[in-house]
Structure 1
Amino acid sequence: MAQPSMRDAIRKAGREEFHERGYYATGIAAITARADAHKGSFYNHYASKEDLAVEVITDYGNEQRMEMLEDASVEPLTRIEQHFTFVSEALRAFDFRLGCMLGNFSAEITTETPRIQETLTANLDYWAGLLTKALDEAAKAHAAVGHDSETTAWLLIDGYEGAALRGRATRSARPMNAFLSTGMPQTLAAFRSHYTK
């Protein structure tokens, strides 16, 4: 079996450090130590810590199974519920200690790191776009009147990310459990209230 490359080791170590400690609290020395690499080798693969963070965020976004939201074999609002249940399980696996990387970076990043901001915005906009499309499908199927799919999509994302962030701060499943059992269902019920058939 081929050995993982040093770039892969650094990327993995960077992801773990960013997720556990945050972007600004993580130094290149900590990343290379975790990767069992010399500090100087970092710059053989990445021009900066920001470059690594952009790659890590992109990888994380690609792992969230966004394709679930486009599965036409499942009723649109059901696929939304299944999607949020899936992404929440990844947080639950770590007892909510780590939180969602998209939310963690969003809470921390400033205008000093524009490429990270752009990457976060692109990931969140893509997510909201898929949710909006699924909500639009549901609205069309039920001849909804006066609905706002895009606002509902963002309410779901904001509710999930808020629960993930508070769960991380309190090391508790309660915020996410509340989102899944109350916040998300009530948001979708409000959306359904616009159905006419």
Structure 2
Amino acid sequence: MPRPSSREEVVAAAQDRFHRRGYHASGVKDITDAAGLPKGSFYNYFASKEDMAIETLRRYGQSRQLHRLGDQAVPPLQRVSEHFEFLRADVVNFGIGYGCMFGNFAIETSEHSEALRTFVREALGRWVGALAGALRDAQARGELPAGRDVDLLAAALVRAWQGALLHARVLGDPAPLDEFETGTLEPLLAKEKA
């Protein structure tokens, strides 16, 4: 009988280690030890630590639930608000000090790994695109002015969120995430008054 693959255990351990400790502070041995496997077994599943990091980032991206931004059963601006509420709850539940894996990798690896930088850039682009799609839906429903540049607005929201999250990490307090909602999200999504 073939032995079951331990790839999932390696990926889960890598995602936890990368998120909690960062890319450079998480070695292959540390990850395989956490998965309960010998170090050499890692190479049965991944060619390199960088390849494993890309897989963990891909899975992290799937956990961000971007598909919900396209849910036509929910009003568009509600989708956007609920998206950031979900992200806030996830950050608080996991631990504010650990931040967002995309932001962490952007800071830690962008100068050293073209493959990781490219993956993070594309992942952030998908996030901006999903937000822009919901904002376009809001324009079509008259919830946002037709002339508003929703691509720019979506990019600004992602960048503001990442900045608020970084500030929350520094303070060890979710207050900047709340300030993002009241000081950035709500004003940017408000209908312009005639």
Q: CA deviation at 1:123?
A: 1.3
Q: Say whether 1:148 aligns with 2:149.
A: yes
AA aligned to 2:84 is: F
How far apart, CA to CA, are the structure 1 residues paired with 2:160 and 2:4?
A: 37
Q: How does 1:1-197 map to 2 (within 5 A)?
A: 5-142=5-142, 144-189=145-190, 192-193=191-192
The answer as to whether partners of 1:57 and 1:101 remain within 8 angstroms in 2 is yes
AA aligned to 1:158 is: R
How far apart, CA to CA, are the structure 1 residues paired with 2:74 and 2:68?
A: 9
AA aligned to 2:41 is: S
AA aligned to 1:110 is: S
AA aligned to 1:55 is: E
Residues 1:7 and 1:146: Cα distance change in structure 2 (over 3 Å): same
AA aligned to 2:167 is: R
AA aligned to 1:29 is: K
The answer as to whether partners of 1:104 and 1:165 remain within 8 angstroms in 2 is no
The answer as to whether partners of 1:15 and 1:56 remain within 8 angstroms in 2 is yes
Q: CA deviation at 1:165?
A: 2.0
TM-score, normalised to structure 1, is: 0.89
AA aligned to 1:138 is: A
Residues 1:85 and 1:117: Cα distance change in structure 2 (over 3 Å): same
AA aligned to 2:76 is: P
Task: Name which of structure 1's ranges 148-157 and 102-111 shifts more when overlaid on structure 2.
Answer: 102-111
Q: CA deviation at 1:182?
A: 2.3
AA aligned to 1:109 is: T
State the Cα RMSD in Å. 1.9
Q: CA deviation at 1:39?
A: 1.3
Task: Name which of structure 1's ranges 86-95 and 148-157 shifts more when overlaid on structure 2.
Answer: 86-95
**5+ residue gaps in structure 2?**
none
Q: CA deviation at 1:170?
A: 2.5
AA aligned to 1:120 is: V
How far apart, CA to CA, are the structure 2 residues paired with 1:4 and 1:96?
A: 35
Q: CA deviation at 1:92?
A: 0.9
TM-score, normalised to structure 2, is: 0.91
How far apart, CA to CA, are the structure 1 residues paired with 2:95 and 2:115?
A: 30
Identity of aligned residues (%): 34
Residues 1:122 and 1:4: Cα distance change in structure 2 (over 3 Å): farther
Task: Name which of structure 1's ranges 15-24 and 179-188 shifts more when overlaid on structure 2.
Answer: 179-188
How far apart, CA to CA, are the structure 1 residues paired with 2:145 and 2:7?
A: 50
2:98 match: secondary structure: coil
How far apart, CA to CA, are the structure 2 residues paired with 1:48 and 1:99?
A: 24
**5+ residue gaps in structure 1?**
none
The answer as to whether partners of 1:80 and 1:131 remain within 8 angstroms in 2 is yes
Render the CA deviation track for 1:13-71: whole Å, top value 9, x for unaligned.
11111001111121112111211211111112111110000000000101111121111
